[in-house]
């Protein structure tokens, strides 16, 4: 293959990651994932807006829904609305567009560096934050389930948060991580261990590399909040079975369609699961102690 041909092949895999949007042309540039060549086709006429930044509400760092529906086809407008924008104004960046094509199943791949134990109460002053997410693709809606426990395994609080305009199932775990970090800061938690079963998101949160994926805005905001809001905050991957209480919160929250926060307890529908979790933990502690109750 010639150098020119290789360059052309490389260029077809490049796209823009949205920061300010000031450098990205709506109709000419590759910035929209899951379309041919990552580009939006102009339907006709002379467009009155040219740059992606003109579709944003810069004060609130979100898409302007009115402008989207005015200038784009309905289906495209809905999908653009699902593309995350970082909470802090960043420069636009050219990234390798293939990096966002990650199957959600990848989070289940085993790795030697990942801990596969059930949830364990953190030692000392740490609070443990378990998170999970559920997704309803036909309405592009997700629900984040979060449970916070102290080092003795006692519930400090639990929360469900319904999120709208979600493009892919891959994004829901990144949103859940951002929501969990934000909740911890809101509650004044200074030291935390955050656990989730989405391996790819945990890896991105622990990486020092610049993320070029479609969920980069969520990862960027979560990292920034983590760095600024906590004295110490670690992230750890756990198997789905170890995270089943947070998973039940997310699934039931999505079914009921509402956001909730309960202080010092959990909803009735996960209370039995919480008790099972507590009994299993107690049994393992006795086993580690040589069969002698503590």
Domain edge (last residue) among 43, 65, 100: 100
Distance CA 78, CA 140 (A): 9
Listed residues 41, 73, 100: the one ending a domain? 100
Query: Domain residues for 73?
Result: 3-100
Whole-prediction pTM value?
0.68
Q: Using CA atoms, how far apart are residues 194 and 119, in angstroms rounded to an integer?
A: 11
Q: Per residue in 149-167, pLDDT tens?
A: 988 888 899 999 999 988 7
- Residue finishing a domain among 100, 122, 141: 100
Q: With residue 133 as reference, give the H or E element that holds it.
A: strand 127-136
**Could you report the per-residue pLDDT of 222-279, keeping only the tens digit for each?**
999 999 999 999 999 999 888 999 999 999 999 998 889 998 888 887 887 777 777 7
Report the 3 state secondary structure along 199-252: HHHHHHHHCCCCCCCCCHHHHHHHHHHHHHHCCEEEEEECCHHHHHHHHHHHHH
Q: What is the pLDDT of residues 92-129, one digit of tens each?
A: 777 665 543 333 333 333 333 334 344 444 445 789 99
Judge if 126 and 27 occupy the same domain.
Answer: no
CATH number at residue 222: 3.30.420.10
The domain total for the chain is: 2
């Amino acid at each position: 293959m010639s150098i020119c041909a290789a360059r052309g092949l490389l260029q077809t895999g490049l796209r823009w990651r949205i920061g300010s949007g000031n450098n990205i042309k709506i109709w000419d540039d590759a910035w929209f994932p899951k379309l041919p060549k990552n580009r939006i086709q102009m339907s006709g006429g002379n467009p009155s807006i040219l740059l992606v930044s003109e579709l944003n509400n810069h004060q609130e760092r979100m898409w302007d829904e009115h402008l989207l529906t005015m200038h784009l086809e309905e289906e495209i407008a809905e999908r653009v609305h699902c593309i995350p924008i970082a909470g802090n104004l960043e420069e636009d960046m050219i990234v390798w567009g293939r990096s966002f094509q990650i199957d959600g199943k990848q989070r289940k791949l085993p790795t030697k560096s990942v801990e596969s134990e059930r949830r364990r109460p953190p030692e000392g002053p740490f609070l443990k934050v378990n998170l999970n997410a559920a997704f309803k693709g036909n309405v592009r809606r997700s629900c984040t389930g979060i449970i916070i426990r102290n080092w003795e395994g006692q519930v400090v609080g639990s929360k469900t948060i319904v999120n709208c305009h979600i493009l892919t199932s891959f994004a829901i775990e990144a949103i859940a991580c951002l929501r969990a970090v934000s909740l911890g800061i809101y509650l004044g938690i200074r030291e935390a261990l955050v656990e989730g079963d989405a391996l790819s998101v945990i890896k991105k949160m622990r990486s020092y590399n610049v993320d070029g994926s479609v969920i980069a805005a969520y990862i960027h905001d979560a990292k920034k909040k983590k760095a600024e809001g906590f004295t110490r905050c670690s992230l750890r991957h756990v198997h789905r079975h170890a995270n089943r209480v947070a998973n039940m919160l997310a699934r039931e929250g999505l079914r009921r369609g509402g956001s909730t926060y309960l202080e010092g307890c959990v909803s009735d529908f996960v209370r039995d699961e919480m008790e099972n979790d507590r009994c299993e933990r107690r049994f393992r502690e006795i086993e580690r102690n040589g069969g002698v109750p503590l």
